[in-house]
Amino acid sequence: MIDRSVYNGCVTVMFALAIATYFTLRKITAPYGRHITSGWGPSLPNRWGWVIMELPAVVVFAFVYFKGAHRLAVVPVSFFCLWQLHYVYRTFIFPWLIRTANKKMPVVIVLLGVAFNTFNAFINAVWISHFGPTALSWMWRVPFIAGVILFIIGFILHVSSDATLIKLRSAGGQEYHIPRGGGYRFVSCPNYLGEIIQWMGWALATFSLAGLAFAVYTVCNLLPRALDHHRWYQKNFADYPRRRMAMIPFLW
**169 forms part of the interface with ligand NDP (CB under 6 A):** yes
Contacting residue, 2, 51, 168, 245, with ligand NDP by CB under 6 A: 168
* CB of 64 or CB of 215, closer to ligand NDP: 215
What part of residues 64-123 is at the interface with ligand NDP (CB under 6 A)? 98, 100, 103
Q: How far is the CB of 122 from ligand NDP (least distance, A)?
A: 16
Please state the closest distance from residue 179 (CB atom) to ligand NDP, in A. Answer: 5
3-state secondary structure the chain: CCCHHHHHHHHHHHHHHHHHHHHHHHHCCCCCHHHCCCCCCCEEEHHHHHHHHHHHHHHHHHHHHCCCCCCCCHHHHHHHHHHHHHHHHHHHHHHHHCCCCCCEEEHHHHHHHHHHHHHHHHHHHHHHHHHCCCCHHHHHCHHHHHHHHHHHHHHHHHHHHHHHHHHCCCCCCCCCCCCCCHHHHCECCHHHHHHHHHHHHHHHHHCCHHHHHHHHHHHHHHHHHHHHHHHHHHHHCCCCCCCCECCCCCCC
**55, 165, 210, 223: which one contacts ligand NDP (CB under 6 A)?**
165
- Per-residue mark of binding to ligand NDP, 185-224 (x: CB under 6 A): ------xx--x----------------------x--xx--
We find the least distance from the C-beta atom of residue 103 to ligand NDP, in angstroms, to be 5
The smaller minimum CB distance to ligand NDP, of residues 75 and 159, is found at 159
* Residue with smallest beta-carbon separation from ligand NDP: 33
Q: Which residues bind ligand NDP (CB under 6 A)?
A: 33-34, 98, 100, 103, 158, 162, 165, 168-169, 176-177, 179, 191-192, 195, 218, 221-222
